[in-house]
Structure 1
Amino acid sequence: MRSPKRLAEIRKLPCVRCGNPDSQAAHSNSAKHGKGRSIKASDEYTVPLCFKCHAAFDRFELGSRAESEAMFEKWLVRVERMLVMEDREVF
């Protein structure tokens, strides 16, 4: 699933790891989220990461594959709460 709207909303948030306000939409690296050879995971499995944290995450410098997947799951939960808060602040 591709969602330009979700990606734009994610990019508005600070890095979920370090708080850097200059973030990008980082896709999950997990097959359970649709990641495969040359295939990005669905856009619904994205979190905001700054360039430095995104690169470290993609290179598995933050932990093993299993640790990275567990970390990403926690980030997803936090990001969904952040997005809900963003929606509330608009109104």
Structure 2
Amino acid sequence: MRDSKRLAAIRKLPCIRCGNPNSQAAHSNSSGHGKGRGIKADDAYTVPLCVGCHQRFDRFELGTRTESEAMFDQWLVRVNRMLAMEEALLHKDFITI
């Protein structure tokens, strides 16, 4: 499923691996998240990675496939928390205005 709102929010976050402020939405490489040959995973399975970290992640230079999937799952939990906090802050500001 494609979610342009989530992708835009992800791109505003710093790289989850190194903190570089110039990030892009990196999709999961796990078939469990919908990844297939020539098919991107669902946009719900995206994290912010800078170009360098994204390339290393996609080439499995950060670990084996199993290690990469575990790392991605940890990143995803952190990113989802960050996005939820941002949403809560936006909602709180909206209510108090």
Per the alignment, residue 29 of structure 2 pairs with 29
Per the alignment, residue 47 of structure 1 pairs with 47
- RMSD, aligned CA: 0.7
1:19 is paired with a residue whose SS is coil
Distance (whole Å) between structure 1 residues aligned to residue 18 and residue 81 of structure 2: 17
**TM-score w.r.t. length of structure 1:** 0.97
Per the alignment, residue 63 of structure 1 pairs with 63
**TM-score w.r.t. length of structure 2:** 0.91
Give the number of equivalent residue pairs: 91
Letter in 1 for 2:65: R
Distance (whole Å) between structure 1 residues aligned to residue 4 and residue 80 of structure 2: 16
Percent of residue pairs bearing the same amino acid type: 73
Per the alignment, residue 6 of structure 1 pairs with 6
Question: Highest relative contact order (Cα 8 Å, sep 6+), 1 or 2?
Answer: 1
The gaps in structure 1 that reach 5 residues or longer are none
The gaps in structure 2 that reach 5 residues or longer are none
